[in-house]
């Protein structure tokens, strides 16, 4: 087997054989296939696609590159959620303890932000003392004692994907649907969860800009999970507007705690409950009532235990950025659009995100929203507040925002896009 023939097969729109896929994934993981060669293959896949058989084999080969976890020793059924990433998407933070409070075990392996999309681990690391990296034994112990764990995936879980993901990010091949699907599902299947709910974002702030692309990605991932024996369902959710009223690490943790305390923005509450119901149903806990667990404080109790179990102090003051800049409404009327991508890029440029994996992030940086589409605003009132420790970043962040919002005359009819747009099972 040689890598040139594998590249040529896909370049010429052929179907990769199981043997070719197994070999190229293994050889790349071992370093026998060079980055530039895998880059060429990834670009060929982006341009020419893969069929269901190829994607399933590619996913299986990535799983086989590392270890597989097992949660059979737990007394609770396991269920997990994965989001394809967005702006202000802090849903994992209230969702994991909420589902655990309803009787399931939630092994949530999460990642870091890159570019305009935020990362769950970056958000949680704004809590003093909290550790993202724990051993498999610690992970099982936290799951057993609290019902939920949010942590980084270990190096042994789908190492081929970790290497390929980093390459895709710097070669313009992130958007390849077969590679997105296999990347997500290889980790989730190797993780060993019994059920999986996929939150596939669609809109300007998501990787999938159109409902058609989001539907294709969701259907591909549901098929991969189902074929591997994992009960899998997907929700297509809106990401044309940021979720909630914050985009940034500590800002989003603060808002998540508000949700667990029974408050918080309505769109965050609605999506958290919708995903919780899907996760509990997939885990066989149809009679559980997540709305009750949110209202009676039991989800908050799990949150506090979960954070403490990984060294965090749930009572500690969260970091606050040293500098703020307020953007005011230029006119009075109805806010009809607030673009998720523009807000996400501004938050990233303020220091909430990173351009490279190695870059540090500012815990307090980000964007605070004072109005959402459909709200009436008055000329001169605060519309957005930018937060950063480094005021020289304001100028660059502000360049992302012109054209990111529209204000129509008062009385203009407005119809909100539902948070959940479609369900695919």
Distance CA 15, CA 23 (A): 15
CATH 3.90.1170.30 maps onto the chain at 323-408
Q: Annotated catalytic, 82?
A: yes
CA 270 to chain centroid: 17
Helix or strand (DSSP H, E) at 211: helix 211-227
Q: Which CATH architecture has domain 3-49?
A: Up-down Bundle (1.20)
Mean pLDDT estimate for the chain: 95
CATH 1.20.970.10 maps onto the chain at 3-49
CA 416 to chain centroid: 23
CATH number of the domain located at residue range(s) 323-408 in this protein:
3.90.1170.30
Please identify which of the residues 163, 168, 231, 393 carries the catalytic annotation.
Answer: 168
Please identify which of the residues 80, 89, 161, 238 carries the catalytic annotation.
Answer: 161
CA 106 to chain centroid: 15
Please identify which of the residues 39, 83, 182, 183 carries the catalytic annotation.
Answer: 183
Provide, rounded to the nearest whole percent, the portion of the chain with pLDDT above 90. 89
Check if the beta carbon of residue 173 is closer than 8 Å to that of residue 39.
Answer: yes
pLDDT at residue 246 tops 90? yes
Q: Annotated catalytic, 337?
A: no
Distance CA 65, CA 377 (A): 54
Please identify which of the residues 187, 188, 231, 393 carries the catalytic annotation.
Answer: 187
Per-residue pLDDT tens over the stretch 77-131 = 999 999 999 999 999 999 999 999 999 999 999 988 877 888 999 999 999 999 9
Nearest alpha carbon to residue 296 among 287, 308, 288, 307: 288
Please identify which of the residues 10, 81, 82, 201 carries the catalytic annotation.
Answer: 82
Instruction: Pull the structure tokens for residue 358.
Output: 């190695």
Q: Are strands 79-83 and 195-202 parallel, antiparallel or unpaired?
A: parallel
Q: Annotated catalytic, 116?
A: no
Per-residue pLDDT tens over the stretch 168-226 = 878 888 889 999 999 999 999 999 999 999 999 999 999 899 999 999 999 999 999 99
What's the confidence (pLDDT) of residue 48?
97
Q: Are strands 420-424 and 333-338 parallel, antiparallel or unpaired?
A: unpaired
Q: Does the 79-156+181-309 domain belong in CATH 3.40.1030.10?
A: yes
Per-residue pLDDT tens over the stretch 312-368 = 999 999 999 999 999 999 999 999 999 999 999 999 999 998 877 778 899 999 999
pLDDT at residue 385 tops 80? yes
Distance CA 98, CA 246 (A): 21
pTM of the model: 0.94
DSSP state of 348: I
CATH 3.40.1030.10 maps onto the chain at 79-156+181-309
What's the confidence (pLDDT) of residue 318?
98
């Amino acid at each position: 087997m040689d890598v040139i023939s594998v590249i040529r097969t896909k370049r010429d729109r052929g179907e990769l054989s199981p043997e070719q896929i197994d070999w190229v994934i293994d050889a790349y993981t071992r370093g026998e296939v060079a980055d530039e060669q895998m880059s060429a293959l990834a670009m060929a896949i982006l341009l020419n696609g893969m069929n269901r058989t190829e994607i399933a084999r590619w996913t299986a080969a990535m799983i086989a590159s590392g270890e597989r976890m097992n949660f059979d020793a737990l007394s609770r059924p396991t269920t997990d959620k994965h989001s394809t990433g967005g702006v202000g998407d802090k849903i994992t933070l209230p969702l994991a303890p909420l589902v655990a409070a309803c009787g399931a075990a939630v092994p949530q392996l999460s990642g870091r932000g890159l570019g305009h999309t935020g990362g769950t681990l970056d958000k949680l690391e704004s809590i003093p003392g909290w550790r993202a990296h724990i051993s498999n034994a610690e992970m099982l112990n936290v799951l057993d004692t609290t019902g939920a764990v949010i942590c980084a995936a270990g190096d042994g879980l789908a190492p081929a994907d970790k290497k390929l993901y980093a390459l895709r990010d710097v070669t313009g091949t992130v958007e390849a649907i077969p590679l997105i699907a296999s990347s997500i599902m290889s980790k989730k299947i190797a993780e060993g969860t019994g059920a999986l709910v996929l939150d596939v974002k669609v809109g300007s702030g998501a990787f999938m800009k159109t409902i058609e692309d989001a539907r294709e990605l969701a259907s591909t991932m549901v098929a991969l999970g189902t074929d591997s024996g994992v009960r899998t369902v997907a929700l297509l959710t809106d990401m044309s507007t940021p979720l909630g009223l914050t985009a940034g690490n500590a800002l989003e943790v603060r808002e998540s705690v508000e949700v667990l305390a029974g408050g918080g923005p309505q769109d965050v509450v609605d999506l958290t409950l919708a995903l919780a119901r899907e996760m509990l149903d997939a885990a066989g806990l149809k009679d559980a009532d997540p709305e009750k667990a949110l209202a009676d404080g039991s989800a908050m109790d799990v949150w506090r235990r979960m954070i403490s179990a990984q060294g965090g102090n749930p009572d500690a003051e969260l970091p606050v950025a040293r500098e703020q800049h307020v953007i005011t409404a230029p006119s009075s009327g109805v806010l009809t659009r607030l673009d998720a991508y523009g807000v996400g890029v501004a938050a990233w440029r303020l220091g909430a995100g990173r351009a490279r994996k190695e870059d540090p992030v500012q815990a307090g940086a980000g964007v605070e929203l004072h109005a959402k589409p459909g709200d009436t605003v008055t000329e001169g009132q605060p519309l957005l507040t930018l937060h950063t420790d480094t005021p020289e970043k304001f100028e660059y962040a502000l360049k992302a925002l012109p054209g990111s919002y529209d204000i129509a005359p008062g009385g203009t009819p407005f119809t909100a896009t539902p948070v959940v747009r479609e369900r695919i099972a």
